[in-house]
Amino acid sequence: IGMATTATSAFGTTGEPPLPEPGLEAADIGVIVAYFAVILAVGIWAMCRTNRSNVQGFFLAGRDITWFPVGASLFSSNIGSGHFVGLAGSGASSGIAQGSFEWNAVVTLLFLGWIFAPIYIASGVVTMPEYLRERFGGQRIRMSLSILSLILYIFTKISADLFAGAIFIQEALGWNLYLAICILLAITALYTVTGGLAAVIYTDTAQTFIMLIGGLVMMGLSFDYIGGYNNLEPEYFKAIPSKRDTNTSCGLPRPDSFHVFRDPIDSDLPWPGMLFGITIIATWYWCTDQVIVQRTLAAKNLSHAKGGCVLAGTLKVLPMYMMVMVGMVSRIIFPDQIGCSLPSECQAVCGSPNGCTNYAYAKLVLFIMPVGLKGLLLAVMIAALMSSLTSVFNSASTLFTCDIWMKIRPKAKTREQMIVGRVFILVMVGISIAWVPIIQAFSDGSLFDYIQSITSFLAPPITAVFVMAVFWPRLNEPGTFWGLTLGIIIGLVRMILEFAIGSPACGKPEFRPTILYKVHYLYFAMILFSVTCVLSICISLVTPPINEKCLVRLTYWNRYSKRKRIPLSEFYKKKVIKFISMDLLVYAWPKPMWRRAIDLFCGLDASQGGGDQPELTEAQQEEIMKSMLDITEEKWPAIFVNIGAVVMVAAGVFLFGFYA
């Protein structure tokens, strides 16, 4: 293989099968129309079912969601078009190791359901910055985390998914990249702006079925084309481009392509980083990120939240086979296009001199899927894109409204909060479109690596702060703020250097500083996590502690406490009641018909859901809060979810061991 200059496989010696022309048949269009009809129907049903005229209904779906929609929404919120494009691309370029990012969710979802979610529910918060505000007091931590979270959404979620979805649509339909983005965003923003979290969760559930059906069909056809799963390894090692520099290893499949644990020094994904570095950034994503945690907060009780985590963790086993290995099949079939290594060849194939592995999934869909099923896969990609975007948009609007806008306008009424949350979604859309060209230039042909590296630079300080906040009551506000701030500064310096200096093309001499190419981004995540912890601990130990009466139900050790918490700020106590209670704004004056129609569509009508809602007394508000803060579980539901968690973790351990 090392001396080969000609692609040889079971599919021919040098030629590649021709790709069909962009465009869809009538059957494909019919499938896509049917998809949109189903999603629209589910969204309208969810809109009618939930009272969206208050913060509780719009942002937390009335806290009445059962375990199956919670788990389905967790899965589909995570699996965006960036996964289909990025994971397939990483499989085509370097093998199965990136799939272990997905399997790591088995562990971190266990952390979410059994450690973090009980504390969040018991503390009665709506957002993650709000939890830190309850835990430490002051406003600077809450504001810092809100702004950082919104930046991460733009850099690693919205723009990456838009770019990935546009790649697929551009290949399939021949549309302009930005035309595809704008059409998808218009549809996505419409039902997110109008429907709130309930519409997002229930449409996510429908889209989970669509993604699983389409992805599994694609996987089956791909394995069948190469003669079965057993032929994947031998054929992958033969997938060598016909034109490459024979003096380097560029264009050759990695010798460790079928190992998830790789050399700790010289590999692309060292095994200590895979075990610990990924766990750090995955804990940020699954346990402290507003997009994910908001789904568990919407569950009707803790057992349903745990059940949703078990379902999502079980489904996370599938992307390795549905996406990573399908990308490897694409390289087998198109070694010259997907496996190109010469910059001139890659530029001719996909317009990027750094590689074309991002196009692996889209090209294989166009080639291998029959009429009708091709439309199904396009619907799958749209589903993946829209499910992720709706989740991020809804959670971003929650963060901005509850943590930033309410700081700017503390007396804002409920109606104003609802309008501001919806307008901010439109602002996020504009910023995300503007960032797409940056991703196009810096993803280096491997989108998933781009997403994980940016996360490794910015997320570890957040993980450190939340883990210590939950397990170490002595941690105080000065320690948290300065540890978080200095950690973020260090991460931003590394990120800016990565963007400013770039990386050498395959076979070219190394020109980066040692700190960039010798310290893998997963190792950097481990270092950054440790530095943040040390700084926070040292500063906390030399500053006054927080009174334990202010920490009731805010740490792992007192989450079941029934004592009344003394808030760090009486002013903030009023804000918490405002966010959590069923606060409604009822207008006494009549409105014109057109105004009532718009309010009803957008969920701003106070009478939505059947008649005017009476104002709640202080005693009624307190009773509602007590019921929502209860994390007591019934015996048999608790036993069932615990058994499910054990089975889920056992499956994850087996898979890591089998592919180690």
Question: Is it the case that residue 53 has pLDDT exceeding 70?
Answer: no
424 within a domain of the structure (yes/no): yes
pLDDT reported for residue 21: 60
Q: For the chain, what is the total number of helices (H) and then of strands (E)?
A: 32, 0
Q: Where do runs of H (alpha helix) occur along 502-569?
A: 514-517, 521-541
pLDDT band at residue 2, thresholds of 50, 70 and 90?
very low
For range 1-12, the mean pLDDT: 40
Q: What pLDDT does 381 receive? A: 74
Number of domains in the chain: 1
User: Is residue 310 in a domain?
Assistant: yes
pLDDT digits (tens, 9 = 90+) for 139-153: 788 788 888 888 888
Tens-place pLDDT, residues 244-286: 888 888 889 999 999 999 999 888 899 999 999 999 999 999 9
Average the pLDDT over 349-376 and give the result.
Answer: 84
Higher pLDDT, residue 491 or 417: 491
Q: Is the pLDDT of residue 572 over 50?
A: no
Greater model confidence, 92 or 574: 92
Q: Is 73 in contact with 315 (CB distance < 8 Å)?
A: no
Residues 6+ apart with CB under 8 A from 434: none
Q: pLDDT-derived band of residue 300, with 50, 70 and 90 as boundaries? A: confident
The answer on pLDDT for 315 being more than 80 is yes
Asked whether residue 41 is domain-assigned, the answer is: yes
CA 382/CA 369 separation, integer angstroms = 16
Three-class SS state of 262: strand
- Is this model's pTM higher than 0.85 or not? no
Q: How far are the Cα atoms of 167, 272, 397, 416, 419 from residue 584, in angstroms, in the given order?
A: 44, 51, 19, 11, 14
Residue 174 resides in a domain: yes
Q: How does the average pLDDT of the chain come out, rounded?
A: 79
pLDDT at 130: 83
216-238: average pLDDT: 94
Please state the rounded mean pLDDT for residues 100-124: 93
Q: Is residue 192 part of a domain?
A: yes
* Range in 116-130, 143-157, 439-453, 548-562 the model is least confident about: 439-453
Domain annotation covers residue 274: yes
Give yes or no for a contact between 91 and 329, defined as CB atoms under 8 angstroms apart: no
- Tell me if 15 is assigned to some domain: no
pLDDT at 193 over 70: no
Positive or negative, the CA dihedral 167, 491, 269, 220 is: negative
Asked if residue 511 belongs to a domain, the reply is: yes
- The residue range of the domain holding 276 is 30-658
CA dist., res. 507 & res. 512, Å (int): 14
**CATH classification of the domain holding 309:** 1.20.1730.10
- Look at residue 624 and give its three-state secondary structure: helix
Whether residue 137 is predicted with pLDDT greater than 50 in this model: the reply is yes
Q: Is the pLDDT of residue 609 over 60?
A: no
C-alpha closest to that of 121 among 468, 554, 640? 554
Mean pLDDT over 196-206 rounds to 64
Of the two residues 507 and 424, the one the predictor is more confident about is: 424
